[in-house]
Amino acid sequence: MFDAVKEESRAVREIFEESCASIQSWDNDYEMTHKTPMLSECINQFQTKYLTKQKPLLMQTIWKTQGQSPVLADDAFDIIVWSDYAFSRLFVDSAFKVERTMSRYMRASARLARCLWELSKSGKIRLADIYRQMAFGNQTDKEFSIQGPKWRKYVTTERIAQPILQKDVISEIIQPGYIEHLMPERRFDQTLYFTVRH
């Protein structure tokens, strides 16, 4: 996000300066639970001002099964492309509510605000240190998980219910004989495995 606006680093710093500079300790759970909504508002201001600078970030594949069965539906596959700004809304919008301890959403928002602020000051950050320092006693390998109902409020296309690619594209994507070697302990592997045998 910062790379797209680095020529305007002074203006970016002005958005974050008051809120970020007032933080005494970025690893203090109590302080950060109360200041994260303010940091999230800074992210809102930043994204509103630079909305036209957002860039594609992530491709999310989706697949559809026949009801609860592990067999693919006829209209089986599609893809969603998230921009960097859109993807951040998944955690920023949930970080406004003050909780008793830092939630994953609040932690992600606070880290994003801190990264943008530090980049606006010097053009450099020590990302590993920020992540380690702002762990708040939690696992850091999974920043957050987003369940279907939460991300679907941002993705309103009918293609969620009726994906564009038919299940027969499997033969174009996966070479013959490879599905038999899948270990169906993962849900998608299991779906492919059972669809081929159906």
Where in the chain are the domains? 3-167
Dihedral, CA of residue 27, residue 30, residue 33 and residue 35, to nearest 10: -80
Looking at residues 170-196, what average pLDDT do you find? 76
Query: If you average pLDDT over every residue of the chain, what do you get?
Result: 88
pLDDT above 60 (res 140): no
Give pLDDT tens digits for 19-34: 999 999 999 999 999 9
Looking at residues 88-112, what average pLDDT do you find? 89
> Whole-angstrom Cα distance, residue 97 to residue 61?
30
Give 186's contacts (C-beta < 8 A, 6+ positions apart). none
Looking at residues 172-197, what average pLDDT do you find? 75
In this prediction, residue 185 carries a pLDDT of 63
> Whole-angstrom Cα distance, residue 159 to residue 23?
44
Reference 36, options 89, 88, 114; nearest CA is 114
Give 41's contacts (C-beta < 8 A, 6+ positions apart). 19, 96
In this prediction, residue 131 carries a pLDDT of 84
Query: What's this model's pTM, rounded to 2 decimal places?
Result: 0.83
| Strand boundaries in the chain, DSSP class E | 56-65, 72-83, 165-166
